[in-house]
A and B are shown apart, each in its own frame.
Chain A
Amino acid sequence: HGPYQPHEPGYGLYLPGYSPYDDQIPDPKSRMLAIQNAKAYLLKSSTTSGLNLYDHLANMLTKILDEQPANAVDIIENISKDVKWAQFQKKMDTLRDEHEILPTFEAAEKHKALFLKANGEDEELEEEIGETPLPNVMETAFYFEQAGIGLSKDETYHIFLALKKLISVQPIQTCRFWGKILGLEMNYIIAEVQYHEGEEEEETEEEEVIEEGGTGMGEVEDEDEIEKEDKPLKSTYKPPPVIPKEENGTGANKYVYFVCNEPGKPWVKLPPVTPAQIVCARKIKKFFTGRLDAPVVSFPPFPGNEANYLRAQIARISAGTQISPAGFYQFADEEGDEEEEGEGGRDTYEENQDFQPLSVAEMVNSLSTWVHHIQSILKQGRCVWFNPFQKSEEEEEDEDEEEEKAEEPDELQQEIGPPLLTPLSEDEEMQNIPAWTAQASTNLIPQYAVAILQSNRWPGAYAFASGKKFGNIYFGWGHKYAPENHAPSLPPPVQAEYPRGPEVTETRDPTLEEELAFKAAKEEALAAAEEEEDEEDVEDDEEDEDD
């Protein structure tokens, strides 16, 4: 029976007066012809694509009826496009068979390599279970996670395995996951490591580029006295004395740092840090790119490349934010004054075997329950002050003594920093913001809460303490927080080129009026002199013949 209701499909087609062909073709035979014509038209292949509308509509309707999407009428154009695309894909099958080697596959290979056990490891397993330098990264990550800090579990586990690989390759005594520093192109994963004593390789020391102006000066001045030609004087500029870096294993170089861009990539050792680098790093603020050999373009010019800048920032962050509960570490020897050594304080500590952990509430409420266990870095850039004007064997021997006395500035004041193991309550605030924010990880279950500290001076530095366990970590971009905007240092004032003396004085260039006046005066003098010369002509001729 035909459709009687308006909503049924086909309604109106058979009723007189409603069909589209009604007024044109009343005759059923002609209607069949019209239908065939219409179908022939639909079957006509397109000249450009070779498809025909009939097949396309059939495919489309098949797809719609198969998939039955909701509100198909709204996305009908997209369905049509998808059907057309599907046509293309079939034709290009032969090309598609070449599997693309996506970079994702290579990365997955590297990650898989982490999980494979190296040969010969099974034999060593027994020994390792005892004392291993490998830190329990997952456990630390668990505590930090209670505060919402940390990487995803996958990444943490990859880092765990990467650290294990590092330990198997290098002779390492202690190892710690220091943190992650983000960069523009790639990130850095950093491990803090201490070698076994005596195992460390001696690095070839690079020649320091900064010359001591004194030596150059001494040699050239002799030449000047010999030759009396008018040569431009050599500059008397003496660069400030180079402050030597601290020995590996002490001060800012106490730990060695290894970095990699992603777990699975090889670990690269960072060079030790020099005081000049730390001093410069304090003045600049640059993002890390992720490539260790990238130059650091800045003013004042940074003495080194990104590896050095990274190492300097790591040193600063460690010195500022590595903390532990008070009492966990104690000084090795209790005797004598701390001021005895004068230039440093203690720099060694050991674990306190009788450490009694405080409750979480106490750790959170008062900052004096936490102490820094890394020496702070002085303004000079070292942890232990160094007097550059001491006469020591390292200085060149052929410096003129006279020069030194003339040019030596006043004795530098010895810089003293806060001693090791100072409590956090001594940390300075910035503009009414305390240096640290302390919270308990949860208020709902205080029995198992963890005390969490976030640094406000170095955003991204966190520390936790729970019972006898504690840890530090850093996740961030590697910059200090500054309430004011960063103002780059201005270039230094223009140096006077030559020392003033009777031979050479600097004066201003003469103005136009002065020049004209001088010229007029000179012409007058010349005119006067010519009259005198005329009288002495005969005598001059005789003198010229002698020369």
Chain B
Amino acid sequence: MEAASLPAALELAAGGGAGLSPEKRAVLGASLLLLQRDYRFERVWFWGCIQGVRGAYYIAEGLGPDRAAPRSRLYSLNCVEWSLLPPATQEMVAQAERLKGRFQGDPSFEYEYTEINAEDAERLFEDGEKPMIKEEARLVATVEQIDREVGIIPRGAFVKTPLGSVCENRNFEGLSLTEAKKLSSYFHFTEPVNLKNKTLLEKADLDPSTDFLDSLEHDIPQGSWTVQLEKGGTVVVLRSLLWLGLTFYHVPMTKQYGYVYFGTGEKNLDLPFML
């Protein structure tokens, strides 16, 4: 969610019971602005909070002129001092996927691999590295995965300029109430995967400036998003069931939207059994 509209946005996304204490809200108002100044971000988003066993990580993202470029991520344990996270690599993500269990809350905690194939173990031992992964790397990989899989925006909120960069659509007035209840009005804010697979007939209806991302309609498994109207039908709230804790809110016919994650940072692999 936008740092500038944090207090209002937290109220809208609080349907799940998770939020921030007044102390954190107050300090974020100041520290996110300072982040913007220090790192020269154009936009700062408060991404959310991953709850570990002994502490919590608060994550913020900074965006540059091209909103679709890889974002810089920062984390903090107390919302006052922020540290830049290294960019996520494929290897990090693959390693982190094998880890299970909660985050500990200590960024220098090292996980030991519990399940390794014999081949992997040989390979790793040959290199002289021990099969350990630090919690910081796991954090990076988890945030990247969550953004990639369930970070969403409403359709039309961003446009692709002819030069290729993506920026906010100033003509976006919000989705209408009927549109807001459909999953096809929301896009994953990441590199599209399924766009090329659409039939020519579907592609003819698309508007290349606004429809350059994957929509939520064809997410697997079907039903992994819940769409609800809260606060008497004035706010549309989407919650992901794949990553429990990700909440997206949008007030129809206004420009307010955003997503935030409050959770334990674990993927819900039991989803097919639970639906």
| A interface list, Cβ under 8 A from B | 69, 75, 78, 82, 102-104, 106-108, 110-111, 145-155, 179-180, 182-187, 262, 285-287, 431, 433-434, 437, 441-444, 454, 456, 459-460, 473, 475-477, 479, 482-486, 488
Contacts and interface: CB of A to CB of B under 8 A. Distances in A.
Contacts of A473: 17
Contacts of B234: 104
Interface stretch (B60-68, B196-204, B267-275): B267-275
A103 B51 CA distance: 36
A390 B166 CA distance: 74
B89 interface: no
Interface in B192-234: 223, 226, 228-234
B100 A483 contact: yes
B177 A75 contact: no
B270 A150 contact: no
Nearest to A106: B233
B18 interface: yes
Given A75-B171, A456-B53, A483-B100, A488 B273 contact: yes
Nearest to A484: B100
11 contacts: A75-B170, A75-B171, A104-B233, A107-B229, A111-B232, A151-B17, A152-B231, A187-B15, A483-B100, A485-B270, A488-B273
Q: Counting chain A CB atoms within 10 Å of each CB, which of B18, B21, B101, B232 scores highest? A: B232
B102 interface: yes
Contact of A150 (B19, B102, B171, B233): B19
Classify chain B: how many residues form its interface, as a range.
35 or more
Nearest to A105: B233
B101 A483 contact: yes
A285 B232 contact: no
A155 B231 contact: yes
Nearest to A78: B171
Given A107-B232, A154-B231, A443-B78, 7 more contacts: A78-B171, A107-B229, A148-B19, A148-B24, A286-B273, A433-B102, A475-B17
A110 B232 contact: yes
Given A107-B233, A111-B232, A444-B23, A150 B14 contact: yes
A102 B100 CA distance: 46
B87 to A, nearest CB: 29
Nearest to A102: B177
A186 B15 CA distance: 11
B86 interface: no
B38 interface: no
B20 to A, nearest CB: 5
Contact of A185 (B78, B101, B226): B226
Nearest to A460: B17
Contacts of A153: 11
Nearest to B102: A433
Interface string B226-245: 10111111100001010010
B12 interface: yes
A184 B226 contact: yes
Interface of chain B: mostly helix, strand, loop or mixed: loop
B15 A145 contact: no
Nearest to A459: B264
B54 interface: yes
B22 A145 contact: yes
Contacts of B100: 483-484
Nearest to A142: B22
Nearest to A299: B273
Interface string B241-263: 10010000000000000000000
Contacts of A187: 15, 228
Given A102-B177, A437-B53, A180 B232 contact: no
B16 interface: yes
A70 to B, nearest CB: 9
Contacts of B170: 69, 75
B53 A149 contact: no
Interface string B101-116: 1100000000000000
A186 B11 contact: no
A155 B15 contact: yes
Contacts of B17: 149-151, 179-180, 460, 473, 475-476
Interface string B159-201: 0000000000011000001000000000000000000000000
Nearest to A264: B232
A17 to B, nearest CB: 33
Contacts of B228: 185-187
Contacts of A484: 100
Contacts of A183: 226
Nearest to B55: A439
Contacts of B171: 75, 78, 82
B102 to A, nearest CB: 6
Contacts of B177: 102, 104
Contacts of A285: 270, 273-274
Contacts of B21: 145-148, 441-442
B12 A152 contact: yes
Contacts of B231: 152, 154-155
A160 to B, nearest CB: 16
Interface string B7-45: 000011011111111111000000000000000000000
Please list the 10 inter-chain residue pairs (A to B) with the smallest Cβ-Cβ separation, ordered nearest first: A475-B17, A107-B232, A104-B233, A486-B270, A148-B21, A152-B14, A152-B11, A107-B233, A148-B20, A78-B171
B102 A287 contact: no
Contacts of B275: 286-287
